Amino acid sequence: MRGFGLILIASLAMASSAHAITVTNGSFEEGAAITGGFDLLAPGNTTAITGWTVLGPGGVDYVDNNLWAASNGSRSVELPGIGTGGLSQVVTNQFVIGQKYVMRFDYTANPFAQDGNYGATVSVTGAGPVVFDYEKTAANTPGAMNYLTFAYNFTATSETKTIEFLSNGSNFLGIVIDNVSITEAGVVPEPASWAMLLAGFGLTGAMMRRRRPVQAVLS
């Protein structure tokens, strides 16, 4: 019985393990030097933020903690540069077709923007674009950025995918992102594992009921 229990635990652990996808420089920490707190990057730039391509027409602002606090490390990205802008990255040969994944990232809004609602769109090749937005208030300051975490769920339809973030509207100031990661979803054990787990509980319960009179005599 003890051996069966160990096998049960091992099989549940295997069913629960999540395999991470490597997003290059997901926290934007690797890249060109930033001067004066931020640098405006033009669309088409593929070198300033290692692993990422800057989208336009407005480009992005690459920001360090001399301007405002990152969610992770010291650098973050404001998606609208001078107008609509964003970032993309091709993640090559890492996805298993049919597997479910979740991409998480932290987001907020430029603390120097007027109070109000700011939005952007996140997408992955073959999955629907999803809009996320942030309500910026006077509580947002460079030192208290109040980041939230967004979870974008998708099912892989190809081994290689382009992930993309693009600001909505033509504002110069808006959504700030940081700390992008992708993991496999479906950390819930397989139905077969649940059946084994329930069978295990049933057996344990039966054994405990049988032992109880013995324990009463011994105590």
Residue closer to Ca ion, measured from CB, 80 or 154: 80
Q: Is 34 near Ca ion (CB under 5 A)? A: no
Q: Rounded distance, CA 94 to CA 20, Å? A: 9
Q: Could you give phi then psi for residue 160, rounded to 5 degrees? A: -115, 135
Residue 147 near residue 110 (C-beta atoms within 8 A): no
Helix (H) or strand (E) holding 106: strand 100-109
Residue closer to Ca ion, measured from CB, 172 or 196: 172
Q: Rounded distance, CA 162 to CA 7, Å? A: 39
- Please count the residues of this chain forming the interface with Ca ion, following the rule CB under 5 A: 11
Q: Is 27 near Ca ion (CB under 5 A)? A: yes
Segment contacting Ca ion (CB under 5 A): 49-57, 116-124, 129-137, 164-172?
A: 164-172
Residue closer to Ca ion, measured from CB, 73 or 200: 73
CB of 179 to Ca ion, least distance (A): 6
In the chain, what's the furthest Cα-to-Cα distance? 82
Q: Is 39 near Ca ion (CB under 5 A)? A: no
Burial class of residue 129 in the structure, from the number of CB atoms within 10 Å of its CB (0-12 exposed, 13-18 middle, 19+ buried) = exposed
Among 73, 83, 119, 126, binds Ca ion (CB under 5 A): 73
Q: Rounded distance, CA 125 to CA 73, Å? A: 28
Q: Is 113 near Ca ion (CB under 5 A)? A: no
Q: Is 178 near Ca ion (CB under 5 A)? A: yes
Among 72, 88, 146, 162, binds Ca ion (CB under 5 A): 72
Subset of 51-70 contacting Ca ion (CB under 5 A): 61, 70
Evaluate the omega torsion of the peptide bond into residue 80 and state whether it is cis, within 30 degrees of 0: no
Query: Which parts of this chain interact with Ca ion (CB under 5 A)?
Result: 27-28, 61, 70, 72-73, 75, 78, 80, 172, 178
